[in-house]
Copies of this chain bind each other. A is one copy, B any other.
Amino acid sequence: MTHTDDTKTPHLEVIPLGGMGEIGKNITAYRYEDEIMVVDAGLAFPDSHQMGIDLIIPRIDYLQQNAGMIRGWILTHGHEDHIGGLPYILPRLPKVPVYGAPLTLGLVREKLSEFGIKDHETDLREVDLNARFKIGKHFEIEYFRMTHSIPDNAGYILTTPAGRVLHTGDFKLDEHPADGQLSDLGRIEQAGKDGVLLLISDSTNAERPGRTPSEAEIAVNLEDVIANCKGRVFLTTFASQVNRIQNILNIAHRQSRRVIMEGRSMLKYAQVAQAVGHMNAPDPFLTNDEVGGMQDQQVLYICTGSQGQPMSVLSRLAFGNHAKIALRRGDSVILSSNPIPGNEEAVNLVINRLYEIGVDVYYPPAYRIHASGHGSQEELATVLNLARPKFFLPWHGEPRHQINHAKLAQTLPRPPKRTLIAKNGDVIRLSADEFKVTGTVPAGAVYVDGLGVGDIGDDVLLDRVNMSQEGILIMTAVLHPTPHVEVVSRGFVRANRDLDNQIRKVALDAIEQGTREKKRLEDVRDDMYGAVRRFVRKVTGRNPVLIPMIVD
């Protein structure tokens, strides 16, 4: 079923291709008549069943099929779940203007250049967070500033002949942001007065009561912790936490510690943020080679590894295999971060190793040194109250977050007339009096693994899961001159000659019986497969992936 265009009422189609019913790989298309504009193109990280996958990007069949209609692209901010898919996606579509704020585009440029994509192959257009511009004939965009865990973060108002859409983008309402630049609630309120037909708002923390703590509170707590550290300090946070890192640079300056940045992504973000004026180091950064003569209490390392990534600086420090730095008693390690769901075990392992080394370790919740970048219920309510939308689309969340966001909206003085809990691929028809799903387009995950994009499907992942649980057993039957069977296994059981011999015999019996009965080769192979499967299950209680081969 695809979208329909059967009426003449002016209507807009909102088509989430990623980030709806999930957290990650955000991308949304808007279509009005024969024009399409797109917002963001993010990536997602695999869950535990998507084994061996490096990352996931959204399917863009819909955009490819309608490539000629695409008039432009806007980016809300520079997080991976909003821009990480661009190097895979932009080259597959016609070159159109891509709008974004300075830091956002700085990070995009860096990313495209890593992929060998040349400047002239894209049309990046830097705008500020008050920019108003048109895309195609029908899309009028007004950016507005929203605070988040990265600077230059935008929401936008999209005005079309079918009505006005206000999309918050990712946000929290931080009253004391590190750069002093507040969310533009005035713009949301004005839009509310002018009339918002549809509000699309960030559902990430729709289950959390109250307000998300301000970045200012985190900075105060970090300064308390750092002030009490006697030796070297190693601090990790998300490399994209530019404002928090700015606060940490200021703290280091006040406490007479020089900062060393360690880890590729930490250096990259710092470089881009400095280039666009979002980071100003009060003292020049040092390299690790330059700290030789300094005292322990004069240095503060900011390093990668807040998610326990095995190759990160913090993991190498924790496991004692960093080439140049060895942790020791008296050092302090500060994790200004929480594990993202799925990373709990890796982070826990790092923390335990740090304790075993004997360093002092500081992390939430015992220390309130991290805050989410997404607003909690009071902040979500504020936006709903100001925007006063007719229709509401909870976005950037799994069903639990979307539905709690919807319930929250119903408790407010002016609840929306209708709320949709949408999924990726839904075609949502929007006009002055319509707000409903009228069809679907292809949407879902494209797996990126090594150099392959899309060459791994769910069948391949299922094999990986099966092999990970039970191992694999390969039987090669050679029929001539004398039938015999070779058995090789991986991940099945510890080398066991007796068991191998038994399996060989079971397989050989099946082969010999089949050949005596002059069965076809495929049937002989199936007989061997079945006999070995039953035998293995009976003797070991397991079901390895079985591969039977016959060499005639």
- In the complex, what residues of B have CB within 8 A of residue A469's CB? 51-52, 464
Bits for A379-416, please: 1 = Cβ < 8 Å to B, else 0: 00000000000000000001110010000000000000
Q: How far does the alpha carbon of A127 sit from the alpha carbon of B545 in the complex, in Å? A: 49
Closest to A457 in B: B494
Bits for A322-359, please: 1 = Cβ < 8 Å to B, else 0: 00000000000000000001101100100111011000
Partner of A478, one of B209, B351, B366, B551: B551
- A123 interfacial by beta-carbon distance below 8 Å: no
- In the complex, what residues of B have CB within 8 A of residue A352's CB? 398-400
- A218 interfacial by beta-carbon distance below 8 Å: no
Bits for A48-82, please: 1 = Cβ < 8 Å to B, else 0: 10011000000000000000000000000000000
- In the complex, what residues of B have CB within 8 A of residue A549's CB? 474, 476, 486, 488
Q: How far does the alpha carbon of A240 sit from the alpha carbon of B431 in the complex, in Å? A: 55
Partner of A474, one of B342, B459, B496, B547: B547
On whether the beta carbons of A493 and B452 are closer than 8 Å, the reply is yes
* Segment at the B interface, from A130-138, A246-254, A271-279, A534-542: A534-542
On whether the beta carbons of A398 and B348 are closer than 8 Å, the reply is yes
On whether the beta carbons of B464 and A467 are closer than 8 Å, the reply is yes
Task: Return A318 CB to nearest CB of chain B, in Å.
Answer: 12
The answer to whether A456 and B493 touch (CB under 8 A), given A345-B341, A547-B488, is: yes
Q: How far does the alpha carbon of A449 sit from the alpha carbon of B455 in the complex, in Å? A: 32
- A468 interfacial by beta-carbon distance below 8 Å: yes
On whether the beta carbons of A52 and B356 are closer than 8 Å, the reply is no
On whether the beta carbons of A399 and B460 are closer than 8 Å, the reply is no
Number of identical protomers: 2
- In the complex, what residues of B have CB within 8 A of residue A10's CB? none
Task: Return A114 CB to nearest CB of chain B, in Å.
Answer: 15
Closest to A356 in B: B399
- A492 interfacial by beta-carbon distance below 8 Å: yes
Closest to A366 in B: B207
On whether the beta carbons of A468 and B471 are closer than 8 Å, the reply is no
Q: List CB contacts (< 8 Å) of A219-270 with chain B.
A: none
Q: List CB contacts (< 8 Å) of A505-552 with chain B.
A: 539-542, 545, 547, 549, 551
- In the complex, what residues of B have CB within 8 A of residue A355's CB? 399-400, 403
- A361 interfacial by beta-carbon distance below 8 Å: yes
- In the complex, what residues of B have CB within 8 A of residue A490's CB? 463-464, 467, 472, 545, 547
- A1 interfacial by beta-carbon distance below 8 Å: no
Tell which of A460, A465, A496 has the most Cβ of chain B within 10 Å: A460
Closest to A346 in B: B48
Q: Sort chain A's interface into a size bin.
A: 35 or more
- A483 interfacial by beta-carbon distance below 8 Å: no
Q: How far does the alpha carbon of A71 sit from the alpha carbon of B470 in the complex, in Å? A: 39
On whether the beta carbons of A542 and B400 are closer than 8 Å, the reply is no
On whether the beta carbons of A451 and B540 are closer than 8 Å, the reply is yes
- A450 interfacial by beta-carbon distance below 8 Å: yes
- In the complex, what residues of B have CB within 8 A of residue A110's CB? none
On whether the beta carbons of B345 and A47 are closer than 8 Å, the reply is yes
Partner of A351, one of B342, B400, B467: B400
- In the complex, what residues of B have CB within 8 A of residue A47's CB? 345
On whether the beta carbons of B478 and A471 are closer than 8 Å, the reply is no
On whether the beta carbons of A542 and B464 are closer than 8 Å, the reply is no
- A491 interfacial by beta-carbon distance below 8 Å: yes
On whether the beta carbons of A452 and B541 are closer than 8 Å, the reply is yes
Closest to A484 in B: B551
On whether the beta carbons of B491 and A463 are closer than 8 Å, the reply is yes
The answer to whether A451 and B541 touch (CB under 8 A), given A490-B467, A494-B457, is: yes
Q: List CB contacts (< 8 Å) of A9-65 with chain B.
A: 47-48, 51-52
Q: How far does the alpha carbon of A46 sit from the alpha carbon of B443 in the complex, in Å? A: 35
Closest to A488 in B: B547
Bits for A360-373, please: 1 = Cβ < 8 Å to B, else 0: 01000010000000
Closest to A357 in B: B399
Q: How far does the alpha carbon of A399 sit from the alpha carbon of B488 in the complex, in Å? A: 40
- In the complex, what residues of B have CB within 8 A of residue A470's CB? 52
- In the complex, what residues of B have CB within 8 A of residue A366's CB? 207, 209
On whether the beta carbons of A471 and B476 are closer than 8 Å, the reply is no
The answer to whether A467 and B491 touch (CB under 8 A), given A352-B400, A478-B551, A549-B486, is: yes
Q: How far does the alpha carbon of A341 sit from the alpha carbon of B539 in the complex, in Å? A: 33
Can you identify 8 A-B contacts, CB atoms within 8 angstroms? A51-B469, A348-B400, A452-B542, A455-B493, A455-B540, A456-B494, A472-B472, A486-B549
Known pairs A341-B348, A449-B541, A472-B472; list 18 more (Cβ under 8 Å): A52-B468, A52-B471, A207-B366, A341-B344, A341-B345, A355-B400, A450-B541, A450-B542, A452-B540, A456-B494, A457-B494, A461-B491, A464-B491, A467-B467, A467-B472, A467-B491, A474-B488, A476-B549
**What are the 5 tightest A-B residue pairs by CB atom distance, in nearest-first order?**
A450-B541, A451-B541, A468-B468, A52-B469, A463-B491
